[in-house]
Structure 1
Amino acid sequence: MHKQVTVDVDGRTVQVEGFGRTVGAVLAGAKIKVGDGDLVAPTLNDPVTQGEQIVVRHGRDLDVVVDGKPDKVWTTALTVGEAIDGMGLRDGDVRLSASRSAPLGRDALRVSTQKTIHLVVDGQMIDGVSSAGDVRDALKDVGLVLNEGDQVSVPLDATAVDGLVVLVTRAQTDAQTKTEAVKFDTDEVDDPGLTKGQKVVVTKGKAGVRTTTYQLDSVGGVVTDRTVLSSVVTTEPVTQVVHIGTMEMPDPSSITVAPGSAKAIAKGLAADRGWGDDQFACLVSLWNRESGWRVSAANPSGAYGIPQALPGSKMASVGADWRTNPVTQITWGLGYIKSRYKTPCGAWAHSQSSGWY
């Protein structure tokens, strides 16, 4: 039977007419090539109906440089943001060489992740958090002001790495003013929305600046006396706030799973991913809240199904029967959790603190 379908090929929409019965046959008839690593939704073997919309995303190796280390990742993303999401990186913890909305080009994507920098300066140790790519910007992030002539133990244009120790030696001059770093405090706050023992930096600390003015008395060019005229904190330090998780994980022994139920299906698929009873308990709590494990659960926002995919049609990447098949919905949901939160307990912790996942 002759059909007309819409095909979205890497963001470009084309109208295709043909007699093919399956997605694969229609694409072949339109001379649209797909490979093993490409994304096709619905799948190649799914039947095609009049007016069907087919999505094709061609995969390719993307050159990425993460914290100065080159690598390649396989992606079907169209934008920088989609590629970063596929790598499982969180927005607040990275800096990118291009905006998230920018089309994914052929140039290498440079990514700088969050890291801890240890500064030894003005007789004290300052531990700061930064996602800057080089030492110069990392020092700015933690609030360090370098004076003319100050020496740094690491080149300022060197790549910033986690755990980097930077020794700052202040220049000794006969200037009448001097700036010193003011160490910031760290507040730890119990957070019942985070998994017990989990730590999240909510507010990054920044060192303050103290400016001191001296009167120098000299004899024959040699300073014999130095008197403090004023000493003022010109930039207040920013307190670093760290949330410490106190939430106990669900008890796996309290969960009853009926054979053949959606929970039974999910338990098996979770086990295939290497997730044990503890992770399954988090998954049960998460989807109890989201949908009550109902395949047809619908939300006015457009979220649908057991995992409450938004929109529900996202699950078509797994199967055309996404509206009714719990296996399709659960398979998509577990893949989403893996790519964005690593584990069900990670997704559950985020849901507890934010009300969504």
Structure 2
Amino acid sequence: MRVLPDNRVVRFVARALIMVMVAVTATAYTYYQRPFVLDYNGMVYEAAFFGRTVADALAAQDLTVTDQDHVYPALGAPVGRGDRVVVRTAKQIHLEIDGEQQVLTSTALTVGEVLEELGARASGAEVSASRGDSVGRDILRISTVKDVSVLIDGQEIDHVTSLGTVRDLLLDMGVVLQEGDSVDPGLDEHLGDDMTITIARASTGADTIKETLKYDTVEREDSSIPKGEKVVVQKGRVGEAVTTYSVSLLNGEEAERRVITRSVLVEPRDEIIAIGTMDVSNPATSVVSPSEAKAIAKAMVADKGWDSSQWTCLESLWHKESNWRVTAANPSSSAYGIPQALPGSKMASAGADWRTNARTQITWGLGYIQGRYGTPCGAWSHSQARGWY
């Protein structure tokens, strides 16, 4: 005789089968979704998608890109579990360069990245915002490095400056204008390369007058600066003296003027210019060792007021990233240098010698850490948790 199963047993088995199917489906759903890290215009978050390529990942986030946007890796590249996808969308940035307004289409997020795109033209320039500031709607004013000459008191003074106007230049040089003096071009004119500024002194008819004392320009070779570039190490500043003259007249006109006494009120200060001699085609001959780079960084960390614990975090972070090698290059990306900037050319905002100069790389790296994480320990904690910083 055949015994039929109890209804309660049937219901229990059915429920068990349903639960197994749900569990299998959920496991399959989780398995086939690809988790990845999305860096969209500097905002970093974790996401997931069904698919294989970068294009699939962005489509899953309802993001569209144009030919002017920057996407890394490329749209057709595969995305593995936990990979990082970087998107920088293009926008119009309003600039004023040496008084001339321009519009730049760029994917830059910070002022430093804008300067990097402008290249050598912006090297050493004065900027209206900090290099670590985000690019906003305000006009970014940039004053490039220029060679100018000042004609004053019978002297021609050559000067290298990145200041914007004639007024700023004369203040920086220490030139004191007297009532009635004329300046050509005017004080509020923008400076241009190879500009000559003429100062005509007002005549008072006095034999004792204040005069400007010219400073000397000293050029020194510097192997830490790329060949062909120059950096103002010390700005020149004019001096000031009170001079008494003996004036001889002939037929009512001045025929001879002779110095009787001269009292120097302010000594002139030499302008010192470093001339680059470093051969960037052979970086191995100009870089410092990892131990030397660490010594430089340790001093710079202390200069920022960070304690020894912050130095320990930074030492660990950059040991992991590059083993403190100046020329460390990631073969799978464009990351470069001690802090592994991505791309390496970002460090140009700290100096044109970013490829080989440890101090330049460290300056950029500390600025990046301070702007993004606050301290080296903040960056190290993030690196330990996520594998990158």
What TM-score do you get using the length of structure 2 for normalisation? 0.61
Structure number with the bigger relative contact order (C-alpha 8 A, sep ≥ 6) is 1
When residues 284 and 22 of structure 1 are mapped into structure 2, their CA distance, relative to the original with a 3 A threshold, is same
1:163-182 matched pairs, under 5 angstroms:
163-173=194-204, 178-182=209-213
Q: Distance in 2 between matches of 1:46 and 1:119?
A: 57
Shift of 1:105: 0.9
Among 98, 102, 114, the residue aligned to 1:71: 102
Q: Tell me whether 1:235 sits opposite 2:254 in the alignment.
A: no
Q: Distance in 2 between matches of 1:306 and 1:166?
A: 43
Report if aligned partners of 2:242, 2:265 keep a CA contact under 8 Å in 1: yes
Shift of 1:153: 1.6
The answer for the alignment partner of 1:308 in structure 2 is 328
The answer for the alignment partner of 1:269 in structure 2 is none
1:122-201 matched pairs, under 5 angstroms:
122-173=153-204, 178-193=209-224, 199-201=230-232
SS of residue in 2 equivalent to 1:45: coil
Q: Tell me whether 1:59 sits opposite 2:90 in the alignment.
A: yes
SS of residue in 1 equivalent to 2:282: helix
Report if aligned partners of 1:194, 1:352 keep a CA contact under 8 Å in 2: no
Q: Distance in 2 between matches of 1:131 and 1:93?
A: 7
Report if aligned partners of 1:198, 1:244 keep a CA contact under 8 Å in 2: yes
The answer for the alignment partner of 1:93 in structure 2 is 124
Report if aligned partners of 2:237, 2:268 keep a CA contact under 8 Å in 1: yes
Q: Distance in 2 between matches of 1:306 and 1:189?
A: 25
Report if aligned partners of 1:143, 1:206 keep a CA contact under 8 Å in 2: yes
The answer for the alignment partner of 1:208 in structure 2 is 239
Q: Distance in 1 between matches of 2:128 and 2:67?
A: 30
RMSD of the alignment, in Å?
4.2
Q: Decide which structure has greater helix share.
A: 2
1:116-127 matched pairs, under 5 angstroms:
116-127=147-158
Q: Tell me whether 1:3 sits opposite 2:22 in the alignment.
A: no
When residues 125 and 353 of structure 1 are mapped into structure 2, their CA distance, relative to the original with a 3 A threshold, is farther
Shift of 1:353: 10
Shift of 1:69: 2.4
Q: Distance in 2 between matches of 1:46 and 1:287?
A: 35
Report if aligned partners of 1:129, 1:142 keep a CA contact under 8 Å in 2: no
Report if aligned partners of 1:193, 1:352 keep a CA contact under 8 Å in 2: no
Task: State which structure, 1 or 2, has the greater radius of gyration over its C-alpha atoms.
Answer: 2
Percent identity, aligned pairs only? Answer: 36
When residues 353 and 242 of structure 1 are mapped into structure 2, their CA distance, relative to the original with a 3 A threshold, is farther
Report if aligned partners of 1:122, 1:180 keep a CA contact under 8 Å in 2: yes
When residues 306 and 167 of structure 1 are mapped into structure 2, their CA distance, relative to the original with a 3 A threshold, is closer
Shift of 1:233: 2.5
Shift of 1:230: 7.8
Report if aligned partners of 1:85, 1:340 keep a CA contact under 8 Å in 2: no
Q: Which runs of 5+ in 2 are unaligned?
A: 1-31, 246-258, 291-316, 365-389
Cα deviation digits, residues 307-345 of structure 1 (max 9, x gap): 414xx5xx7655xxx89xxxxx9xx77x77999988xxx
Among 29, 44, 49, the residue aligned to 1:18: 49
More moved, 121-130 vs 64-73: 64-73
Cα deviation digits, residues 8-50 of structure 1 (max 9, x gap): 2112234423212111101111111211121222322222233
Q: Distance in 2 between matches of 1:83 and 1:147?
A: 41
When residues 287 and 22 of structure 1 are mapped into structure 2, their CA distance, relative to the original with a 3 A threshold, is farther
Cα deviation digits, residues 270-323 of structure 1 (max 9, x gap): xxxxxxxxx8x5367579989xxxxxxx972622799414xx5xx7655xxx89
Shift of 1:151: 0.8
SS of residue in 1 equivalent to 2:264: strand
Aligned length, in residue pairs: 290
Among 97, 107, 114, the residue aligned to 1:83: 114
